[in-house]
Amino acid sequence: MGIFGALTTSVAGLRAESYALENISGNIANSQTTGFKRIDTSFLDLIPETGLNQQKAGSVTSASRSTNTVQGDVQSASVSTYMAVNGAGFFVVQKPGNFTDNSPIFDGVENYTRRGDFTLNKEGYLVNGAGYYLEGIPIDPTTGNLVGSAPQILKFKNDFLPAQPTSKIEYRANLASYPLTTNHDVSVPGSELINPADFTGGTIAQVQGSDVQTFIDQSIAGGAVTAYDVSGAPVNLQLRWAKTATSTGGGTDTWNLFYQADSNATGTTTAWKNVGTTFTFGSNGQLTAGGPSVTLSGAVINGVSLGNPVINFSSGGLTQYANANGNVQVNQIQQDGFPAGSLQSVSISNNGRVVGNYSNGRNIDLAQITLATFNGPDFLKRLDGGAFAATDESGQALFGNGGTIVGSSLEGSNTDIADEFTKLIVTQQAYSANTKVITTSNQMVQDLLNVLR
């Protein structure tokens, strides 16, 4: 029984080492596979039931041991929709059960993967190199809020992003304490000020077309910005400042702000309109009255209605300091409107969001990619293409703490070629040793048969 038991044990050893060799070969074959997790081999000894003084070495069997929690190297990639997980999470994906008219039909079964080589296909799905479709939570492009909490298959249509009318303008500038207007003459006190008596009706509330040149000569440019109406039609919003009073003994200076209402105005048509607010500056150049914002009530520019946009100066955004150039130094002039635009491409940000890049230059968050974790990640069931399925041993998917997503990057295989070659040598030697036991057992049996002869 002992000799034949040794033969049986050696055969089990050959089988176990062959199993290990198969795992090693798979690891080496997938050393360049994106997101691949190597499989290690565990050897388990099988001890027959005997008395304490008759215990034997026993036989052996082998089993696979997953390394799903071992991170692969993350490397940058040139594709904007590629992504890698830095942490323990898995992308949530589905694979179509079949196709109808070239459109995928899903069965609702979710799988999980670390393979992040996703690209946008012609139907608007993000699909990785193994054919798995990415899931996430859509984002309302208008509010920026998540739509629901459960992940779903993401599909991005080539729809238009609706136009957004200009509602506010962020404006920061310094007004020269002595504006160098066309009419200024340093030898004549007050020549840098706008003079209401030079305008029709003796007022500067609305500058008429016939007074345009006079107004230009007595004011200084305050910058311009392209604004948009409710349909997304652009209009050039031009600003000008005019100093209305200057201090003579360390008091206050006052200014009025105007915007161009009609660039082609003639006669009595309104060309420039006063916003109706007096801006006052102290001797230290700080704004003392007139802020922090003004509303352009019923603003109409070249026939385009802008509604009631608000110009925000913010704290300290509007000052009056000496300026050798005698002009307005605009530090910021930025508005929040934009025209309609079509989706041109998508990319992945480092906070795990799918960003839509539109033809109007806007970059809008379209979806939040969800990452799943498991209490027993090494007990997930392997599927083709680097995907996994949940099992009773792994537990169900958990969301909310799966690590971070790195955009324009890919996670490589966690296979170490040098380590696999080392295991290959050890496996080969162990296999040869088992064959030696078989050869020796065979020789012993032959010797026994020779005795009988």
Closest CA to 116 of 124, 105, 126, 108: 126
Q: Which pLDDT value is given to residue 250?
A: 66
Q: Which pLDDT value is given to residue 1?
A: 53
> ω before 292 within 30° of 0 (cis)?
yes
Q: Which pLDDT value is given to residue 102?
A: 82
Q: Which pLDDT value is given to residue 249?
A: 64
Residue appearing with tokens 């003639």:
266
Q: Which residues, 6 or more positions from 443, have their beta carbon under 8 angstroms from its beta carbon?
A: none
Q: Which residues, 6 or more positions from 331, have their beta carbon under 8 angstroms from its beta carbon?
A: 172, 173, 174, 317
Q: What is the pLDDT of residues 164-201, one digit of tens each?
A: 999 999 999 999 999 999 989 888 989 999 999 999 98
Partners of 358 in the β-ladder: 343
Please give the Cα distance from 155 to 404 (Å, whole number).
22
Neighbours of 323 (CB within 10 A): 16
Please give the Cα distance from 234 to 164 (Å, whole number).
11
Q: Which pLDDT value is given to residue 161?
A: 86
Q: Which residues, 6 or more positions from 273, have their beta carbon under 8 angstroms from its beta carbon?
A: 205, 206, 207, 258, 259, 260, 261
CB-CB contact of 232 with 339 (8 Å):
yes
Could you tell me how far CA 314 lies from the centroid of its own chain?
A: 29
Partners of 357 in the β-ladder: 345, 363
Closest CA to 319 of 295, 288, 296, 294: 288
Residue 299, H or E segment: strand 299-301
Closest CA to 181 of 170, 192, 171, 165: 192
Q: Which pLDDT value is given to residue 220?
A: 97
Neighbours of 93 (CB within 10 A): 26
Q: What is the DSSP letter of 178?
A: S
What domains lie within the chain, and their CATH numbers? 2-70+413-452 (no CATH), 74-158+346-411 (no CATH), 168-335 (2.60.98.20)
Q: Which pLDDT value is given to residue 26?
A: 96
β-bridge pairing 168-175 and 328-335: antiparallel
Q: Which pLDDT value is given to residue 315?
A: 86
Confidence (pTM): 0.76
Please give the Cα distance from 273 to 237 (Å, whole number).
12
Q: Is 6 helix (H, G, I), strand (E, B) or coil?
A: helix
Q: Which pLDDT value is given to residue 52?
A: 67
The ranges of the chain with pLDDT < 50 are: none
Q: What angle do CA 258, 264, 339 make, to 5 degrees?
A: 75
Please give the Cα distance from 16 to 441 (Å, whole number).
19
Please give the Cα distance from 87 to 59 (Å, whole number).
39
Q: What is the pLDDT of residues 201-215, one digit of tens each?
A: 899 999 999 999 999
Q: Which pLDDT value is given to residue 7?
A: 86
